[in-house]
Amino acid sequence: MQSIFMLLMLFAPGIGSTGAEVFLPIDAPDRHSLESLALTRIGGYGIMRAARPTVPSHFHTGIDIRRPHPNYTDEPIFPAARGVVISRRTDGPYAQLIIEHDIGGLKFWTVYEHIAGLTVKDSSLVDPHSPIARFFSKEELQKYGWQFDHFHFEVLKVHPFALGHDGRHPDRYYSSYTLECHTVAGLNRYFYDPLEFFALSWSRTIPRMQPSGLAVPPENGSAVTPRLNMLYSLYEHPAIHYIGGGRSPFLSDDFVSQYH
């Protein structure tokens, strides 16, 4: 609650330019607009992911972002804001970067997973206009599986937890809480809904306010962050129709059990 309040304060109109410093992490026509963002069918925040043999069921702690262009060679991924790389792993389908941000006094952490072509090292300073990695290429997807045809993005409220030294991943110092969230309380303790985070950060410039409130039907309402229904009702965007802790009625169990 305190961090949400701080977010609202920092991003409120007239209080600095923090919101302008937060960008969509993709090469989009407008990196300050959710209309430039498309998620996979099960890529919404807060969707329950079914158990797998080695992983209990858990909430999806981020969003699965689709590539913005049909570019299966070098579609770039950018940091959401300036910051510093604090953890890095490069093991194929699970390659990951964690970046620490301090924007206008608000600390937060972003996670980028299922990525390739990392251009940054541990402790690198990053700029939202310089790519840090790219989406998987066609060859990599054929090797790892097409369920990874997206990248997984998270925004953390709290510091990622420290890992012991791992010789196989020498630059992997921290882990997110990606598979740890089995309750709504747990999810909200660690994570922002990335769409809410973006929307709030840009709230001073939301240009598409709609009076309808039809974007999220009540039965799909959010147990995760009730305020989102109000927030999302301000937008007309296909990506948000199944956001909010509910399960989209057109999802099959097969889809829900896919990897994050």
Binding interface with Zn ion (CB under 5 A): 64, 152, 260
CB of 241: closest distance to Zn ion in angstroms? 17
Query: In this complex, which beta carbon is closest to Zn ion, that of residue 82 or of residue 152?
Result: 152
* Closest distance of CB 260 from Zn ion, Å: 4
Q: List Cα–Cα distances, 7 to 40, 62, 101, 127, in angstroms.
A: 27, 18, 13, 21
Q: Which is nearer to Zn ion, 147 or 233 (CB)?
A: 147
Residue with tokens 């060859």: 139
Identify which of residues 134 and 152 has a Cβ nearer to Zn ion in the complex.
Answer: 152
* Distance (Å) of CA 29 to CA 18, 68, 81, 126, 133: 20, 9, 17, 21, 19
Are 97 and 37 a contacting pair, CB within 8 Å?
no
Q: How far apart are CA 222 and CA 164, in angstroms?
A: 36
Least spacing, CB of residue 43 vs Zn ion, in Å: 6
The nearer residue to Zn ion, 62 or 83, going by C-beta atoms, is 62
Residue 64 C-beta: closest distance to Zn ion, Å? 4
Spatial CA neighbour of 22 closest among 205, 174, 233: 205
